[in-house]
């Protein structure tokens, strides 16, 4: 194409359109891409006595009707031992099922065998579903240890909405894959 005696390259008309398309493709992330960036923590503490305050702490579990529990400050299981996490349907709602790796399974079996009648206190920090920012974290549950857990799977009903529990499971699974 020739405009007023000078050559005009028609390919230059495509540059702004191509730049706009690339900007849209590169700047927008699909929900699936964002889902891979979600991470959660999981800390399993053991109920402790009130003695030795330097090693134990008092925590409140449940938001609606808080229950005070004394727990060891140091968790015996963390998200680094998680192999898989998923939501499972139970009577009256849902529960979070966490499968631990071999070492985590051994620890779970050892602690559940030696501490029948006590409670595990479970803490998690996870992204808030509405804005994907990391929440401060909270105590999710304090299931009573009624039997030896030999299969490496801890199942508990969290003090969380279904959406929050899904975020926790997603974040734990994303860490397990790394």
Residue 8 and residue 79 share a domain:
no
From residue 161, give the alpha-carbon distance in Å to each of 9, 67, 139, 149, 164: 59, 19, 13, 26, 5
Considering only 3-7, 38-42, 77-81, 127-131, which range has the smallest mean pLDDT? 3-7
Burial status of residue 172 (CB atoms within 10 A of its CB: 0-12, 13-18, 19 or more): buried
26, two tokens: 């590169």
Predicted confidence at residue 134, as pLDDT, reads 66
Provide the H-helix boundaries in the chain: 14-27, 31-35, 102-114, 162-177
Which structural domain, as residue segments, surrounds residue 91?
38-177
52/33: higher pLDDT: 52
pLDDT on residue 167: 93
State percent of the chain over pLDDT 90.
64
pTM: 0.77
Over the stretch 71-93, which tens digit does the pLDDT of each residue have?
Answer: 999 999 999 999 999 999 999 99
What's the pLDDT at 23? 41
Q: Is the pLDDT of residue 32 over 80?
A: no
What does the pLDDT look like over 101-145, one tens digit per residue?
Answer: 999 999 999 999 999 999 999 999 998 766 666 677 999 999 999
> Would you say residue 1 has pLDDT above 90?
no
Q: Are residues 72 and 8 in the same domain?
A: no
* 44 in the same domain as 27: no
Is the confidence at residue 146, as pLDDT, over 70? yes
Task: State residue 131's pLDDT score.
Answer: 64
Tell me how many domains the chain contains: 2
Rounded Cα distance, 74 and 43, in Å: 9
Same domain, 143 and 108: yes
Please check whether residues 54 and 141 belong to one and the same domain: yes
Same domain, 16 and 104: no
Whole-number average pLDDT of the chain: 83
What is the structure's pLDDT at 38?
A: 82
């Amino acid at each position: 194409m020739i405009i007023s005696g000078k050559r005009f390259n028609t390919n230059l008309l495509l540059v702004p359109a191509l730049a706009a398309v690339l900007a849209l493709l590169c700047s927008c992330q699909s929900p699936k891409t964002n889902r891979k960036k979600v991470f959660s923590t999981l800390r399993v503490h053991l109920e402790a006595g009130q003695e030795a305050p330097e090693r134990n702490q008092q925590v409140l579990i449940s938001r609606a009707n808080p229950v005070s529990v004394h727990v060891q400050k140091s968790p015996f299981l963390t998200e680094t031992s998680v192999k898989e996490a998923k939501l499972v349907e139970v009577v009256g709602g849902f529960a979070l099922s966490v499968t631990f790796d071999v070492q985590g399974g051994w620890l779970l079996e050892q602690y559940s065998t030696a501490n029948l009648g006590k409670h595990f206190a479970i803490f998690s920090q996870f992204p808030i579903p509405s804005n994907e920012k990391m929440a401060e974290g909270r105590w999710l549950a304090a299931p009573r240890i009624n039997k030896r857990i030999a299969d490496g799977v801890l199942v508990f009903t969290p003090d969380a909405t279904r959406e929050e529990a899904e975020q926790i499971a997603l974040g734990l699974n994303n860490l397990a894959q790394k």
